[in-house]
């Protein structure tokens, strides 16, 4: 059985699609998983690690007003990050992560482990809300894997 990242790469190649990543809470882990796959250079444009809000604005075009009003951890920011990454990279597909990996930073409205993942795919955007358990590394790992699942789900239906 192929790994999740191998399945994503195979599907991207089969459909002749390029991919970019935009990561906050996963800190490059999605891109790292993808580049473990031989031949990834055929379909992977690259990635943005936009941990600071300023980076989300400058590199991905996320609205400062949106960040002020909603905060970085919300569905709208995940969607904006995904769209911005695809547009900047000229990629047909992108995936974005924003969340609270912990152990600090959580609130009752936005607890530790809350992650929003966005996938831009050929002009359409899908965002999912996830609540992961565990320590910082477990949350990041779970979010990266779920992001790859989301990409696979979005591109398989094309």
Q: What is the pLDDT of residues 34-83, one digit of tens each?
A: 999 999 999 999 999 999 999 999 999 999 999 999 999 999 999 999 99
pLDDT at 76: 98
**Within 10 A of 37 (CB to CB), how many other CB atoms are there?**
18
Give the chain's domain count: 1
The CATH number of the domain where 69 resides is what?
Answer: 3.90.950.20
CA distance 90 to 74: 24
User: Containing domain of residue 66, as a range?
Assistant: 4-156
Q: Is the pTM of this model over 0.95?
A: yes
């Amino acid at each position: 059985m192929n790994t999740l990242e191998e399945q994503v790469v195979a599907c991207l190649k089969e459909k002749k699609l390029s991919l970019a990543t935009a990561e906050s809470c996963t800190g490059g882990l999605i891109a790292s998983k993808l580049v473990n796959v031989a031949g990834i250079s055929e379909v992977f444009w690259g990635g943005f690690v936009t941990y600071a809000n300023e980076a989300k604005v400058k590199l991905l075009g996320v609205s400062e007003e949106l960040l002020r009003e909603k905060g970085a951890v919300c569905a709208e920011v995940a969607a904006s990050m995904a769209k911005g990454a695809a547009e900047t990279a000229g990629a047909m597909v992108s995936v974005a992560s924003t969340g609270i990996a912990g152990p600090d930073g959580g609130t009752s409205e936005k607890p530790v482990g809350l992650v929003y993942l966005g996938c831009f795919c050929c002009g359409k955007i899908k965002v999912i809300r996830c609540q992961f358990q565990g320590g910082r590394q477990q949350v990041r790992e779970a979010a990266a894997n779920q992001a790859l699942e989301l990409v696979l789900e979005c591109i398989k239906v094309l």
